[in-house]
Structure 1
Amino acid sequence: MPIPSDTGSSAERPLAGVRVLAIENFVAGPFASMWLADAGAEVVKIERRDGGDFSRALTPTRTDDEGRDRSLAFLRTNRNKKSVTLDLKHAEGKRVFKELAAQADVLIENLRPGVMDELGLGWPVLSALNPRLVYVAISGFGHDDILPSPYTQRPAFDIVGQAMSGLMHRAEREHDRPVYLGFSLADIEAGILGAYGAMLALFQRHVTGKGKMVDISLYDACVALNEVSVAMYSATRKPAKPGVHPVTAPFGTYRASDGDIVIAVVGEPTWERFCIALGRRDLLEDERFKDGISRRRNIEALDANIAPWLSARTREEAVDALTAVGVPASLVNTEADLFDCPHVAARNMILTLNDPAWGPVQVAGNPVKLSGVPEAATGLPPTLGEHTDDVLRQWLGTSDERIAALRGSRVI
């Protein structure tokens, strides 16, 4: 669903005037910087001269009129940014980068821990150069600068965070093997936390005048998401059954006459309303169902009482009856359903990017809504190196002669 472009001035956006350098690939870092860009920050993406962000080459791709491959993966995570190509292994490239870092408010990187230090561009160097810099590092297991991990140097993609945190044991059915959750949960959560950490550090800088290093781990992000299982195992020393809520019922997917819905009963007031909706006040007197733990323990008997009511109703009828009395319930949507959902349209949660190769492509919108702040523009992701000259001129006052020399030396 297309939305109007941002009609307000950039000064109306909360991060207007904030400069962000992003050295990023794939998902976690790009999501963090994209949300800052949506909020009005000027995000300059520093990319390799040869290929740029690795996600530019991820399939599926389509070729534009100029023969450039444009990846759908890159479209998802890089709107409203600028691209500068820079060889960080070249001495002059390092010099230019340091000059840019001296002008930046925030740096976001999701390279392997130690790579920036090996380049001579890590937190100790850049913070000495620019004491106000907020340095956000996103990695699989964190950096040794703050809290060292024995796994720091292990490679990690999203699925590793999901697996090690126990989340992959939560979704499967009992006796099935653990399953990947099917989307980049660890990466996206790490990106959210990276943006959140940047905001915390910027707020503290307003008080102290000094920046901070923000250290985000995919593994840590997923452990935080699995908090209910951590608490329950600590209290009971028993693993929660997979695919179900550990402390309440009915809570999960249920079958109506024409398809699936979800029902979420948490707490006894909601249970009472649920029984009223079913016309089964007698269930309130059944000792097997006296509280959430009891209902979970006797789930088969509980489901046997719910099934006849559901089988006599369509999905819409069941959801309407439950929500009318205050029981959380909904349809189980497919991806296609999102494009027809009135909530998604009203909340601008699907944006349209008019890409020169893909044409109109819909991507997920920004879920953070602020009063008095217009929706973010749906600017296309930058082509590789598209803004190199402009950024060098505007941030550093670089002359045309020096830009030509840098290009001639293959630094940019």
Structure 2
Amino acid sequence: MSGDERPAGALDGLVVLDLTQMLAGPYASMMLADQGARVIKIEPPGGDLTRRNGPHLDGALRLEQRGYGAYFGSINRNKESVELDLKRPAGREALLRLARQADVLVENYRVGVMDRLGLGYETLAAANPRLVYATLRGFGDPRSGASPYADWPAYDPVAQAMGGIMGITGARRGGPPTKIGPGVGDIVPAMFLAYGIAAACWRAQRTGQGQFVDVAMVDAVLAVCERLVFQYGVTGNAPGPEGNGHPLLCPFGLFPAADGYVSLGVPNDRFWALLVARMQRPELQHDPRFASNDARVAHREEVDELVSAWTRRFTKQELARELGGEIPFGPVFDARDIFADPHFRVRDMLVEVEQPGAARPLTVAGTPVRMSATPGAVRRRAPMVGEHTERTLADFGFTATEIAALRP
């Protein structure tokens, strides 16, 4: 179906002013846009500097041509772009005028930036009481708890480190901490922020009252590490890296195959019986060292070696035939595997969008949220710098003369 023929998303009609940059903030507003919200990205003169980040398809327009690289294209799809200079009084007044008609404003500047511009929460809430004003910062906004680190800049590795997830991740038990590959220090907070915005909008719809929504990156990462919290709270022992296993279940983790690795999970004795039957070692089910999960955890090294000795005899594909559908199992995929596997195509998780200037499209990750009546989707590419300035401002009641006066 064409973009116009697709059913409207569940957030159709929601108007979001997006003053975010880098990864975390734009990912949150992207989630709203994927579900049908009208997300208007407010960019400074010349555009968001992350537009220059690669990689770039051959021929793709660069920032100096008002284009963007794959980084920007991935997380700013489905959005409009309006170019405003918030350092000028006219730009600030224009944003205030937009905010009076919007449902949501989301920003991830450092603490105090919007206040110094005269566009802080209290000012905008007075102009539009139903506005949901959402922020995402490394250590949160002082309005909802003044962290001693409130003024510290924070990026993904900082959030991973201080939020606890890095300290329980590592290649071997008791080894050094390890950064998680994708930017979970950005993306997890973004997900919580999108959730908080949706919750606040539901209340605003019923009461006419907006509110301040604040997510700290480190708080969001800690929330994902909920096991760390209750384990320490109960035992007083600080969990550390667990390697590729699980501290409470066995066997549970990564195991070698002849051509890579597979993930295998045995959360209970029923699955253990199925596994040892596949291994043609049924006697292991009744061996007192392995008969229960607690016993297997106590003899973890022996269990892991028994299972590894069996799995490394087979390729990932052969193990999939042996275990797939019977036991919690999955081969460890790299990008080549993901692009070749039918699951991700049939689920629309690999989406091709136009890349201005390039001869071929850019492939971006789709939305994993599926709704039967209002399906989310990647409907259109990320915008060029200021691509929608005139049309969007006109929709908000700006005259041609007023629009011209705002041009950088």
TM-score tier, shorter chain, comes to: over 0.9
Q: Aligned AA for 1:190?
A: P
**Structure 2 residue 38 is the aligned partner of structure 1 residue 42:** yes
Find the counterpart in structure 2 of residue 298 from structure 1. Answer: 299
Conserved 8 A contact 1:6-1:375: no
Greater Cα offset, 270-279 or 345-354: 270-279
Find the counterpart in structure 2 of residue 21 from structure 1. Answer: 17
Give the TM-score of the pair, scaled to structure 2. Answer: 0.92
CA distance in 2, matches of 1:294, 1:170: 23
CA distance in 1, matches of 2:260, 2:135: 44
Find the counterpart in structure 1 of residue 330 from structure 2. Answer: 330
SS at match of 1:154: coil
Q: How does 1:102-121 map to 2 (within 5 A)?
A: 102-121=100-119
Conserved 8 A contact 1:169-1:242: no
Find the counterpart in structure 2 of residue 311 from structure 1. Answer: 312
SS at match of 2:256: strand
Conserved 8 A contact 1:6-1:374: no
Find the counterpart in structure 2 of residue 392 from structure 1. Answer: 393
Q: 1:270 to 1:234 in 2, by over 3 A?
A: farther
Q: CA shift at 1:106, angstroms?
A: 0.8
CA distance in 2, matches of 1:72, 1:242: 34
Q: Aligned AA for 2:293?
A: G
CA distance in 1, matches of 2:107, 2:211: 14
CA distance in 1, matches of 2:330, 2:258: 15
Find the counterpart in structure 2 of residue 245 from structure 1. Answer: 246
Runs of 5+ consecutive residues of structure 2 not aligned to the other structure: none
**Structure 2 residue 5 is the aligned partner of structure 1 residue 8:** yes
CA distance in 2, matches of 1:64, 1:274: 50
Q: CA shift at 1:375, angstroms?
A: 4.9
SS at match of 2:111: coil
Q: Aligned AA for 1:115?
A: V
Greater Cα offset, 301-310 or 257-266: 301-310
Conserved 8 A contact 1:102-1:130: yes
Aligned length: 401
Give the TM-score of the pair, scaled to structure 1. Answer: 0.91
CA distance in 2, matches of 1:302, 1:242: 16
Runs of 5+ consecutive residues of structure 1 not aligned to the other structure: none
Q: How does 1:369-388 map to 2 (within 5 A)?
A: 369-388=370-389
Q: CA shift at 1:241, angstroms?
A: 4.1
Conserved 8 A contact 1:24-1:53: no
CA distance in 1, matches of 2:205, 2:106: 19
Conserved 8 A contact 1:262-1:330: yes
Q: 1:6 to 1:386 in 2, by over 3 A?
A: closer
CA distance in 2, matches of 1:130, 1:373: 28
Q: 1:368 to 1:65 in 2, by over 3 A?
A: closer
Conserved 8 A contact 1:112-1:153: yes
Specify which of 53, 59, 67 is matched with residue 54 of structure 2.
59
CA distance in 1, matches of 2:235, 2:291: 20
Q: 1:310 to 1:402 in 2, by over 3 A?
A: closer
Find the counterpart in structure 2 of residue 401 from structure 1. Answer: 401
CA distance in 2, matches of 1:252, 1:275: 16
CA distance in 2, matches of 1:93, 1:65: 27
Q: CA shift at 1:279, angstroms?
A: 2.9
Deviation per CA, 1:170-219: give whole Å up to 9, x if none.
Answer: 33223643222122111111111111111100111122221111111110
SS at match of 2:324: helix
Q: Aligned AA for 1:227?
A: E
Conserved 8 A contact 1:6-1:376: no
Specify which of 98, 101, 107 is matched with residue 100 of structure 1.
98
Greater Cα offset, 151-160 or 300-309: 300-309
Deviation per CA, 1:235-270: give whole Å up to 9, x if none.
Answer: 333324432211111111111233311101112332
Q: 1:163 to 1:241 in 2, by over 3 A?
A: closer
Find the counterpart in structure 2 of residue 205 from structure 1. Answer: 204
Conserved 8 A contact 2:36-2:376: no
Q: CA shift at 1:223, angstroms?
A: 0.5
